[in-house]
Amino acid sequence: MTPPIDIAGTSTFSKPLQLPLSQEELDRINNYLRPLVPEESLRWAVDHIPGLFQTTAFGLTGLVAIDMLSKITTSPPPLIFIDTLYHFPETYELVKDVKKKYGVPVTVYKPQGCNTVQDFERKHGEKLWETDEDAYDFSVKVEPARRAYEELGVKAVITGRRASQGADRANLQPLEIDSTGLLKLNPLFAWNYHLVEWYIKENGVPRNKLLDQGYRSVGDWHSTVKSGEGDAGERAGRWAGKVEKTECGLHVDYFKIKAAAEKKEREDVQHIQTAP
């Protein structure tokens, strides 16, 4: 059956979209979004996607989307910031700059039951990112994000992922559905790093000051280093020394990383119970 066509000659979609989406409808939406510029994709999403939020660590691409949305609508999707407790001071400063410039609400979620690094390390031990990477990612990012989605009624999120970042993102589509049914809109999926940098400079968008100090991509302070000479990767310096790691946990299979974290927790409990 041919999808309905409006008078402008573009495919029409229900407002709001009826969820969950079938694979056929998802394919139809991606065929429509793929040739659009990011602003057009964002405008379409604001008009069509229910329960739309933006999850952001305030990386360059996320900042571009924030700026674009500020010019598209007076009521942009609220921002969700996952505070791992291990961000650089410059990242927390950037959050304040963004709130001041754009006046958009920022809801902060932290690891469950933890307000400080000391709280987290009393609960999980020191340097969990070294002893169990999956458990760390789940505790500081995945669990807080899922809690945010459930409490805020999130059905879809805007991400800063781009295909040019490579690895698992190389075949990125404009709109995807993860293993939990969450919609993920990737409005700048087709942009490269140079386009992102150009937009930031042309539009006076706030950016992390660490990017002027030799960092190319900024995450937690304990696993982010300055990119080396000749290291041109877009996420150079992230997860230093861990060649196989390319994602933080938010964009991997939720059920897989949850199972790994729960296994670690059971092993820890068993170790405590059997300790002399």
What residues act catalytically? 248
State yes or no: pLDDT of 226 exceeds 90.
no
How many residues would you count in the chain? 276
HSE at residue 44, side-chain half, CA atoms within 13 A, is 23
- How high is the pLDDT of residue 51? 98
Domains annotated on the chain, with CATH: 24-274 (3.40.50.620)
Of the two residues 266 and 109, the one the predictor is more confident about is 109
pLDDT the model gives residue 9: 40
Using pLDDT thresholds of 50, 70 and 90, give the confidence band for residue 3: very low
Q: Is the pLDDT of residue 198 over 70?
A: yes
Q: What is the pTM of this model?
A: 0.84
Q: Which residues contact 155 (CB under 8 A, 6 or more apart)?
A: 19, 49, 50, 51, 52, 182, 183
pLDDT of residue 252: 61
- What is the pLDDT at residue 27? 96
Residue bearing the bigger pLDDT, 149 or 263 = 149
**Which residues are registered as beta bridge partners of 176?**
184
Round to the nearest angstrom and report the end-to-end CA distance of the chain: 69
State the CB neighbour count (10 A cutoff) for residue 107: 12
Categorize the per-residue pLDDT at 81 as very low, low, confident or very high, splitting at 50, 70 and 90.
very high
Q: What is the pLDDT of residues 98-108, one digit of tens each?
A: 999 999 889 99
User: Is 134 or 174 the better-scoring residue by pLDDT?
Assistant: 174
**Confidence class of residue 275 from pLDDT cuts 50, 70 and 90?**
low
Q: Are 207 and 60 in contact (CB under 8 A)?
A: yes
Average pLDDT, the chain: 86
The pLDDT, as a whole number, for residue 240 is 53
Q: Which residue has the higher pLDDT, 276 or 56?
A: 56
Residue located via tokens 């199972």: 259
pLDDT at 6: 42
pLDDT per residue over 7-56, tens digit each?
A: 334 568 999 999 999 999 999 999 999 999 999 999 999 999 999 999 99
Quote the distance between the C-alpha of residue 91 and its chain's center.
15
Judged against a pLDDT cut of 70, whether residue 266 lies above it is answered with: no
Picking from 17-31, 166-180, 205-219, 228-242, which range would have the lowest pLDDT averaged per residue? 228-242
Structure confidence by residue, pLDDT tens digits, 199-224? 999 999 999 999 999 888 899 999 88
Q: Distance (Å, rounded) from C-alpha 61 to C-alpha 172?
A: 15
pLDDT greater than 70 at residue 80: yes
Nearest to 132 by CA among 3, 249, 47: 249
Q: What is the per-residue pLDDT for 160? A: 93
Predicted local distance difference test score (pLDDT) of residue 229: 43
Q: What percent of the chain has pLDDT over 70?
A: 79
